[in-house]
Copies of this chain bind each other. A is one copy, B any other.
Amino acid sequence: MNSFTEENYLKAIYKLIEQNDEAVSTNAIAKKMNTKAASVTDMLKKLSDKKLIHYQKYQGVTLTAKGEKVALSVIRKHRLWEMFLLEKLDFKWDEVHDVAEQLEHINSDKLIAQIDKFLNYPKFDPHGDPIPDVNGKIQTQKSKSIANFKKNDVLVMTGVVDHSTAFLQYLDKSGLALGNEIKIKEVIEFDRSLQISINKKTTIFISNDVAKNILAITK
C-alpha cells in the first residue's frame, strides 16, 4: 500500500500534468505540496522505485499507468466524500474540501462503493469537477471560463477553477451557484469585467479575475 504522503504527491502530480499536459518539474510539485524541492526529490526517488512515476534526474516526472490509477482513485474518493458531506451532512461547498482531504485516504473498497451507491452514482462533485468511476474513467465537460464568452451569450454555470473558501463564499454571497443560468449582459472593454444576470433575475458586476474562475457551457 501507499502512504498518505505518497498518495498526496501522486494526486498533486496528476493535477499538474492535467493542467499543462507535460512532464512536471520538481519546483512545481514543491509549490503545490507546500514543501521544499529537496523533499520532493527524495519522494520522487521513492515513487520511481515503486514504479509509480517515470523519473529521470532533471527531466521532470510523469505518472506510470500504475501511478495514474492510484491518483485517480484518490481523486475519486475525495470528490465522492465532498458530495457526501454536501448532500447528506449539510456541509456548504466551501467546507467540504478540508475534510475530504483527510477522508480521501481511507482504505476500503466496499466503503467507497457504498458511498457511491448511497449518493446514486454522482458524476460531478460540489465544485463541478468530474468524479472518476471505479475504473478511473472521467466524464469530461467541455466548459470554459465565462471570461471567454461574449455579450448576450446565455450560459449554465458548471464549475469553478479556484476552490478557496474565500472565493466560494464570495460566489455564495453573489448568488452564484452551479446550475444557475448566467447571461452576459455587458463586457467592459477596459478591464474585461462583466455585467451578468443570474437566473434572469439579479444582475451583478464581476471582475475579470472572478470571471476567469467561473466555468460554464452555452445553454
Q: Chain A: residues with CB nearer than 8 A to chain B?
A: 85, 88-91, 95, 98-99, 102-103, 106-108, 110-111, 114-115, 118
Contacts and interface: CB of A to CB of B under 8 A. Distances in A.
B85 A111 contact: yes
Contacts of A110: 91, 95, 99
20 contacts: A85-B111, A88-B118, A89-B111, A89-B114, A89-B115, A89-B118, A90-B114, A91-B110, A91-B114, A95-B110, A98-B108, A99-B106, A99-B108, A99-B110, A99-B111, A102-B106, A102-B107, A102-B108, A103-B106, A106-B106
In the A-B complex, the 7 residue pairs with the smallest Cβ-Cβ separation, listed nearest first, are: A89-B114, A99-B108, A102-B106, A99-B111, A103-B106, A89-B118, A90-B114
Contacts of A88: 118
Contacts of A103: 106
Quickly give the copy total for this chain.
2
Nearest to A102: B106
Contacts of A95: 110
A138 B37 CA distance: 49
Contacts of A111: 85, 89, 99
A91 to B, nearest CB: 7
A101 to B, nearest CB: 10
A30 B106 CA distance: 25
A32 B153 CA distance: 65
A110 B89 CA distance: 9
Nearest to A99: B108
A173 B118 CA distance: 27
Nearest to A89: B114
A103 B99 CA distance: 12
A108 B85 CA distance: 12
A17 B118 CA distance: 39
Contacts of A90: 114
Nearest to A115: B89
